[in-house]
Amino acid sequence: MAKPDTGDLRDIPVEKIDRNKENPRVVFRQEELDELTESIRNYGVLVPVSVYKKQGRYVLIDGERRWLCSLKLNRHTIPALVQEPPSPLENLLLMFNIHALREQWDLFTIALKLPKVIDLLRAELQREPNEIELSAKTGLSRSAIRRSRLLVELPEKYKMRLLEELHKPPSQQKLSEDFFIEMERALKTVQRAQPSIIQDLNKARDVLIEKYTSDKIKNLVSLRLIPKIARAENVGADESSAQKALKKLFQKNSYSAEEAFDDTVSEAYSEKAVLTRIDALLEKLDQFDPDDLDDELREKLRTLIDKASRLLEGNE
Partner 1 sequence: MTFRALAPQLHSTALAARAYFHSEHGATGFVVEEAFAKNSNYVTTFTAKLADHYAVCIEVRDKAYATALDEFVVECITASLPVKLYVAMPTGAGSYKEFKDDLLCARRRGVGIVEVDNAGGTVLNPAVSLSLAGLRRVRPLDYPQKIRQALRDAENTFLMGDPPKGCGNVYDLIENLTRALARKMSTNGMWPTAPNFNFDADPWQNIMDHVQKNANFQIVRGVCPDLKPPLFAQVCGIIPNRNESGHRPKTRAQLKSRDEKLKTRFETACDLLRDLILAVRPLRIRC
Considering only residues 168-207, where is the footprint of partner 1 by CB under 8 A?
172
- Interacting span for partner 1 (CB under 8 A) from 4-12, 33-41, 258-266, 306-314: 33-41
Q: Interface with partner 1 includes 39 (CB under 8 A)? A: no
Nearest CB to partner 1, comparing residues 19 and 142: 19
Q: Interface with partner 1 includes 34 (CB under 8 A)? A: yes
Binding mask 111-140 for partner 1 (x = CB under 8 A): ------------------------------
Element at 274 (helix H, strand E) = helix 266-285
Q: Interface with partner 1 includes 68 (CB under 8 A)? A: yes
The size of the interface with partner 1 (CB under 8 A), counted in residues, is 17
- Binding-site member from 10, 11, 30, 299 for partner 1 (CB under 8 A): 30
Whose CA is closest to 76, among 10, 14, 11, 9?
14
Q: Interface with partner 1 includes 157 (CB under 8 A)? A: no
State the nearest-atom distance from the C-beta of 25 to partner 1, in Å.
12
Handedness of CA 97, 101, 103, 108 (dihedral sign): positive
- Binding-site member from 53, 72, 159, 272 for partner 1 (CB under 8 A): 72
Task: Note whether 161 and 130 are within 8 A (CB).
Answer: no
Sheet holding 8-13, edge to edge: 8-13, 77-83, 49-54, 57-62, 17-18
Q: Interface with partner 1 includes 161 (CB under 8 A)? A: no
Neighbours of 257 (CB within 10 A): 26
- Interacting span for partner 1 (CB under 8 A) from 37-45, 46-54, 147-155, 265-273: 37-45
- Binding-site member from 164, 210, 279, 299 for partner 1 (CB under 8 A): 164
Give the integer Cα–Cα distance in Å for 83 and 259.
Answer: 59
Q: Interface with partner 1 includes 32 (CB under 8 A)? A: no
Q: Interface with partner 1 includes 37 (CB under 8 A)? A: yes
Using a CB cutoff of 8 Å and minimum separation of 24, what contacts does 136-145 make?
137/93, 137/96, 138/93, 138/96, 138/97, 138/100, 138/110, 138/114, 139/96, 139/97, 139/100, 139/101, 140/96, 140/100, 140/110, 144/107, 144/110, 145/114
State the nearest-atom distance from the C-beta of 157 to partner 1, in Å.
15
State the nearest-atom distance from the C-beta of 15 to partner 1, in Å.
9
- Interacting span for partner 1 (CB under 8 A) from 34-42, 178-186, 215-223, 267-275: 34-42
Q: Interface with partner 1 includes 71 (CB under 8 A)? A: yes
**C-alpha distances out from residue 51 to 11, 38, 55, 212, 224, Å:** 11, 23, 13, 43, 44
Task: Note whether 16 and 75 are within 8 A (CB).
Answer: no
Task: Note whether 35 and 69 are within 8 A (CB).
Answer: no
- Binding-site member from 11, 32, 38, 299 for partner 1 (CB under 8 A): 38
Task: State the residues that interact with partner 1 by CB under 8 A.
Answer: 19, 26, 28, 30, 34, 37-38, 41, 68, 71-74, 163-164, 167, 172
